[in-house]
Structure 1
Amino acid sequence: MNIEQLNADYGIADQLQFSLGQGDFPIIKINNAHAQAMISVYGGQVLSYRPTSAPEDLMFISEQAYYQTGKAIKGGTPICWPWFGPDPESLGRASHGFVRNRLWTVQSTSTTPSQEIKVKLGLVDTPETRDIWPHSFDLSIEFTIGSTLKIELITHNTGEQPFSITQALHTYFQVGDIAPLRVKGLEGAAYIDKVDGGVQKQQSGEIAIAEEVDRIYLGVSPALAVEDPTLNRRIEITASGSQTAVVWNPWVDNSTKMADLKDDDYQKFVCVETANAANEVIEIQSGTAYSLTADYRIVQL
């Protein structure tokens, strides 16, 4: 992608510009009246978002993240699509699908009457993707950068047959310290405990993280929150098009095994993912579309 051409076609004076980031991937830098943000065109993911009223960034990015073609960037908002988790057909395909390690196309940038900035990126099927997943699609993701961060992932079925997907916005939230952190809004919910062999359990009280956590919560509320007393803030998550949520923290052993995480990084983030996962399989008919949306707000305490 030619950075000069991207700026000529999609730049917004004094508010949005393109540049080359790590790995020479195109980066969109946004600085408006509401917030500062950075979006990677590779992976179609937010790397940074900080409202003007917030002293700390919303996002966690590993200092050892890969910025290499074919690898996912560890942190921010990676996209799991068209499946979440292991290959659902056990064909040896990569976990979490194939869009988080591809270069997306810039489709549009704009400002709203309330001076938010919208950025739309897209991916369509190619012979390569059809070898991996034999369906025709037009996938778009729209970011709205304002006093909140809104992400909308829209799947259009452009083929002649229906197809089914699972998906997730695999969001890494920066936290001050994992120990006192609490995830709220899932009290009493059933969940699949992937650490315990997929056994279904029921959440008792708020979620505290003191060990490896990898859970798919079922039938969830559209409103969740991450209470972070160390950073003196609450992250409010409002979802639509989703009835499952994933909570993940790799804890000590997995952090030390992952080359793109530092050994102590598990203390610095939690993933609370807006998803269609487990038994929430979305069937999309020919010529129709499905939207998955998450809106993130930082409230200082």
Structure 2
Amino acid sequence: MTIEQLNTQFGIAGQLEFIAGNGGLPMIQVKTAKAKALISIHAGQVLSYQPAGEAEDVMFLSAKAYYQDGKAIKGGAPICWPWFGADPEGKGRPGHGFVRNRAWNVIATEALANGDIKVTVGLDDTPETQAIWPHAFSLRQEIVIGDSLNLSLITRNTGKEKFTITQAFHTYFKVGDISRAKVSGLAGCDYLDKAGGGNTQKHQTGDVTIDAEVDRIYLNVGNTLTIDDAALNRCIQITSQNSKTAVVWNPWEKIAKDMADLEDHDYQRLLCVETTNAADDVREVAPGGECRLVASYRVVRG
């Protein structure tokens, strides 16, 4: 659909507009009394969320991000699906699945009675996806923009055989200074340490702080985590549903320099805290059944 057609069918006067974004990709721009946000239809990905009265975006978005078919956008809340991490079957398929680098469809938009805006985007299986992952599915993401940002990723099995998935909201949060940021809510959890290509199990004591490359899958986590961002004088509260694992990631200096879609010093300004079904947190979806992964982000002060 063209931008004009999208606005005619799905626009909400004064609150939700479709625009041509970077790379000419169609994007959804939301501006309300509660917040503003930017959503890329390519990848079905929230790129920006800024509550009213906040000086800074909640999300980090790379100035060097790719905006083209077949490429993932570095920043915001990419969707990893139907697997998290490397191809689980070792067939050479792309890491983190195949939905974060292709166009999605706009399913619905709605102005809710409480002043929030709800956007639903989705993907269904095609011959192309069947060649990559031979299952019939209907994937939807419900995005609710208000005082908090609420994301629900809903997997429906429309086929005749069960399948299993791992998945994630691979969310990039903006921090003022990574050396002064910490994550609370993971003390006492074991984690798989993936940094440097490893896979050793370790135990978290106290808050998570970052002073080197961090790539960890935390196991048996609770449903509330908090990023304490001292440099920006704010906390970002992350609440989840139907998730037993969480990932904390920061590339640090060398990997950031090696990534063409990151500025060399971006590692100092980003922190990924990801709501996941990863590692042994595998979800089975029966024919006609569904799986729902939910994450909510809110700025908390005082």
Superposition TM-score tier, normalisation by shorter sequence:
over 0.9
State the one-letter code of the partner of 2:137.
F
| Cα separation, 2, equivalents of 1:153 and 1:224 | 19
| Cα separation, 1, equivalents of 2:142 and 2:221 | 24
Note the C-alpha offset of 1:112.
Answer: 1.1
| Cα separation, 1, equivalents of 2:31 and 2:63 | 23
- Post-superposition Cα deviations, 1:102-149, rounded to whole Å, max 9, x if no partner, equal 110000000111010000001000000000000000000010000000
| Cα separation, 2, equivalents of 1:257 and 1:67 | 19
State the one-letter code of the partner of 1:241.
N
| Cα separation, 1, equivalents of 2:53 and 2:275 | 25
Matched with 2:106 is: 106
Note the C-alpha offset of 1:300.
Answer: 2.9
State the one-letter code of the partner of 2:55.
P
Matched with 1:248 is: 249
Matched with 1:143 is: 143
| Cα separation, 1, equivalents of 2:162 and 2:53 | 45
> Equivalent residue of 1:179, what SS?
helix
Is 1:274 matched with 2:275? Answer: yes
> Equivalent residue of 1:230, what SS?
helix
| Cα separation, 2, equivalents of 1:52 and 1:282 | 36
| Cα separation, 2, equivalents of 1:113 and 1:8 | 22
Segments of 5+ residues of structure 2 without an aligned counterpart are none
| Cα separation, 2, equivalents of 1:300 and 1:250 | 28
Matches within 5 A, 1:191-270: 191-195=191-195, 197-270=198-271
> Equivalent residue of 2:30, what SS?
strand
| Cα separation, 2, equivalents of 1:26 and 1:189 | 41
> Equivalent residue of 1:129, what SS?
helix
> Equivalent residue of 2:206, what SS?
coil
Matched with 2:181 is: 181
Matches within 5 A, 1:1-301: 1-195=1-195, 197-301=198-302
Note the C-alpha offset of 1:55.
Answer: 1.2
- Give the TM-score normalised by structure 2: 0.99
Contact 1:241/1:292 (8 A) holds in 2 = yes
Displacement over 3 Å in runs of 4+ = none
User: RMSD across aligned C-alpha pairs, in angstroms?
Assistant: 0.7
Contact 1:81/1:166 (8 A) holds in 2 = yes
State the one-letter code of the partner of 1:105.
N
Note the C-alpha offset of 1:159.
Answer: 0.4
Percent identity over paired residues: 55
Note the C-alpha offset of 1:72.
Answer: 0.1
Contact 1:54/1:300 (8 A) holds in 2 = no
| Cα separation, 1, equivalents of 2:278 and 2:27 | 29
| Cα separation, 1, equivalents of 2:13 and 2:180 | 42
| Cα separation, 1, equivalents of 2:245 and 2:172 | 17
| Cα separation, 2, equivalents of 1:60 and 1:17 | 22
- Give the TM-score normalised by structure 1: 0.99
| Cα separation, 1, equivalents of 2:287 and 2:106 | 25
| Cα separation, 2, equivalents of 1:36 and 1:158 | 34
| Cα separation, 1, equivalents of 2:6 and 2:163 | 33
The total of aligned residue pairs comes to: 301
Segments of 5+ residues of structure 1 without an aligned counterpart are none
Note the C-alpha offset of 1:33.
Answer: 1.4
Note the C-alpha offset of 1:2.
Answer: 0.5
| Cα separation, 2, equivalents of 1:132 and 1:243 | 27
- Post-superposition Cα deviations, 1:11-65, rounded to whole Å, max 9, x if no partner, equal 0000000011011111100001110101000011111110102111001000000
Please identify, of 116-125 and 45-54, the stretch whose mean Cα deviation from structure 2 is larger: 45-54
Contact 1:183/1:224 (8 A) holds in 2 = yes
Note the C-alpha offset of 1:226.
Answer: 0.1
| Cα separation, 2, equivalents of 1:221 and 1:111 | 32
